Amino acid sequence: MAARLVSGLDGSPLKHNLALTAQVPGKAQSSVVVVTVMGPFLRLAWLAPILVVMPAGVLAAPEPIRIGGSSTVFPVMQAAIAAYQKGGAHRQVRFELKETGTSAGFRQFCSGQLPLANASRPINAKELKACAAKGVTFLELPIGFDAITVVVNPANTWASSITTQELARLWKQGAAGSVKSWSQVNLDWPNRPIRLCGPGKDSGTYDYFNKAINGDEDNSRADYFASEKDNELVACVAKNPEALGYFGFAYYQANAKRLKPLSVVGKRGAALPSVASVQKESYVPLSRPLFVYVNDRALRQRPELQKFVTYVIQNGLSLVKRAGYIPMPSSTYMLVESKLYRHVGGTAFGGDLPVGLTTGQALQRSLESIKKPAFR
C-alpha cells in the first residue's frame, strides 16, 4: 500500500488541504482520503496498514445521503440533487440515489438502511409492521401526482383508447397463457400477438395498477417482460409494434415521440393522461399521489438531511414539474413543509392504497394529521 500526494498546499500558513490516495496492489480502484491539516507541519506514516496523520486528526468523509425506492419518483429526486448542488452549492453533501422499486425501497427503509425512500404508493400494512419491529419512525411527505400511463407503439393504428374492463381482461392473473392476441382484448382489434411490458413485483406502480384495475395488488399475470426500471419498459414498447405497457407519466413525456398513449375509459369517461386530466380529477382510476418517506431519527440527527429534505419540499412544485409529473398547488407544499417542520409522523393511509379516492381526497387525507391538536 502506498501514499501519493495528489494536490498541494492551499497557500494558507495555518491550514493545508491534502488529498491522499491509498492504492492497494491488485485492485483496479483506489479510495481517496481528504485530510485537513492545521499548522505548518505534516508528517505521514503507514502503520500496518493504518494511515497516521500527525499532529492533526483525520476528517472522515461525511456519510452520504442514501436514497432508494420508486423508479417513478427517481427523476424528481434526480432533479432535486442536481438543483441542490448547482454551481458548487452543498458540494460537501454526497448522495447515493438508486431506483429499486417502491417495495424494495421500503424493505431497506424499514430495516434502517435508508434515511430516505421514494414511493409511488403509501406504505402498506406489512411494511408498517417491519418498520415498527425495527423501531423506525418516519414522516410521510406527498410531493406531487402521477398518471400511470398505458402506452402502445406508434405503429399501432387500431387502438386509441382502452377501458378498465379491457385492461383487467388483459392483465389479470387468469389471463396468463390464454389472452395472447389483441382480438382477445377487443373484438374490433386485429388477431395479432400482443407483447406486454410492465413493472416488476417490487414496483409501487405494479401494486397500484393491479389494485386499481384487477382489485388486488397481487392479481397480475406474470408472463410479460417485467422491470423495475421504467426506461427498460419504454424500450420494450418502443421497439415492438405489437407491444403494450404501463408506467409513470414522466417516462412517457420524456419519450413522447417513441410512444403512443391510450385514453383510459373509467367511471368518469375517457381521458388521456395529462396534467389537466389529473388536476381536474378526470383521469381515474390511474392517477395517484407520490411520496417521500424520511426516517425521523435520521432527520433529527443529520442537519444535512434536514436541509436537503426541506429544499425538496420548498421547491417541490418546480422540481416535480421539471421531472415531468403533476405538481400539487403551491399552498399545499407549504402545508407539507409544516408537516416536516413539526415532525408529524406516521402514515395517513393505514397501510391501504388510496385507490378510489380522487387526488384531492388522497391529499386531504395525507395532510389531515396536521390539524390534530398535538401538532397545532
Banded model confidence at residue 191, pLDDT cuts 50, 70, 90: very high
CA distance 46 to 1: 9
Statement: residue 339 has pLDDT above 90: yes
Residue 104 CB contacts under 8 Å (≥ 6 apart), including other chains: 68, 69, 202, 228
Which residue stretches of the chain are H helix? 74-84, 102-110, 125-133, 164-171, 204-214, 230-238, 249-253, 275-279, 296-301, 303-314, 316-323, 330-341, 359-367
Count CB atoms within 10 A of the CB of residue 234.
21
pLDDT, position 182 = 98
Q: What confidence tens digit (pLDDT) does each residue in 66-94 have? A: 999 999 999 999 999 999 999 888 989 99
8 contact partners, CB below 8 Å, separation of at least 6? 18
- State mean pLDDT over 186-193: 98
Q: What is the pLDDT of residue 60?
A: 56
Mean pLDDT across the stretch 48-63? 47
Number of residues in the chain: 376
Q: What residues are paired with 54 via a beta bridge?
A: 43
Lowest mean pLDDT across 4-13, 96-105, 313-322: 4-13
Q: Check whether the bond before 303 is cis (ω within 30° of 0).
A: no
Q: What is the pLDDT of residue 48?
A: 36
pLDDT value of position 28 = 39
Least confident of 95-99, 219-223, 236-240, 362-366: 362-366
> Do 147-279 and 65-145+289-375 have the same topology in CATH?
yes
The most distant pair of C-alpha atoms in the chain lies apart, rounded to whole Å, by 84
What is the CATH T-level fold of the domain 147-279, as seen in this structure? Answer: D-Maltodextrin-Binding Protein; domain 2 (3.40.190)
Laid out side by side, the sheet with 15-23 consists of: 2-5, 15-23, 31-38
pLDDT of residue 44: 34
Could you give the strand order of the β-sheet that contains 161-163, starting from the edge strand earlier in sequence?
Answer: 161-163, 263-266, 269-271
> What pLDDT digit, counting tens, does each position of 247-261 carry?
999 999 999 999 999
Pairing assessment for the beta strands 43-47 and 31-38 based on DSSP bridges: unpaired
Residues 150-175 have a mean pLDDT of 98
Residue 352 pLDDT level (bands cut at 50, 70, 90): confident
The predicted model scores a pTM of 0.80
According to DSSP, the residues that pair with 75 across neighbouring strands are none
Q: Are 294 and 304 in contact (CB under 8 A)?
A: no
pLDDT of res. 56: 41
**Which tens digit of pLDDT belongs to each residue from 120-157?**
999 999 999 999 999 999 999 999 999 999 999 999 99
What is the Cα 283 distance to its own chain's centre? 22
Poorest-confidence range of 52-66, 234-248, 354-368? 52-66
Going by C-alpha positions, the residue among 288, 319, 320 that lies closest to residue 149 is 288
Residue located via cell numbers 452520504: 64
Q: Report residue 61's pLDDT band, with 50, 70 and 90 as the boundaries.
A: low
Q: By the 8 A CB rule, do 95 and 65 touch?
A: yes
> What pLDDT sits at residue 355?
84
- Domain boundaries defined on the chain: 2-54, 65-145+289-375, 147-279
Q: How would DSSP label each residue in 8-29?
A: ---S-SSEEEEEEEEE-TT-S-
SS3 assignment, position 34:
strand
Where is pLDDT greater, at 370 or 217?
Answer: 217
Model confidence at 201, pLDDT cuts 50, 70, 90, reads very high
pLDDT value of residue 353: 81
Question: Do the beta carbons of residue 290 and residue 316 sit within 8 Å?
Answer: no
Check residue 215 and report its DSSP letter.
Answer: S
Q: Give yes or no for residue 25 having a pLDDT over 50.
A: no
Q: Please check the confidence at residue 55 and state whether its pLDDT lies above 60.
A: no
Q: Which long-range contacts (CB under 8 A, 24 or more apart) does 266-273 make?
A: 266/163, 266/164, 270/161, 273/147, 273/148, 273/149, 273/249
Question: What pLDDT score does 372 carry?
Answer: 59
pLDDT band at residue 10 using 50, 70 and 90 as cut-offs: very low
Q: What is the mean pLDDT of residues 89-114?
A: 95
Residue 203 has pLDDT above 50, yes or no: yes
Q: What is the pLDDT of residue 35?
A: 34
Q: Provide the mean pLDDT of the chain.
A: 85
Report the CATH architecture of 65-145+289-375: 3-Layer(aba) Sandwich (3.40)
Question: Among 63-67, 170-174, 337-341, 351-355, which stretch is predicted with the lowest mean pLDDT?
Answer: 351-355
- For 16-25, 53-62, 284-293, which range has the lowest pLDDT when averaged over its residues? 16-25
- How would you classify the pairing of strands 269-271 and 225-227? unpaired
pLDDT digits (tens, 9 = 90+) for 293-311: 999 999 999 999 999 999 9
Stronger pLDDT, 20 or 283, i.e. the higher one: 283
| Angle, CA 188 vertex, CA 185 and CA 190 arms, to 5° | 75
What is the model's pLDDT at position 22? 35
Helix (H), strand (E) at residue 141: strand 138-147
C-alpha cell of residue 171: 392483465
Q: What is the pLDDT of residue 369?
A: 63
Residue 192 phi, psi (nearest 5): -125, 150
Long-range contacts of 230-233 (CB under 8 A, 24+ apart): 230/71, 230/72, 230/199, 233/197, 233/198, 233/199
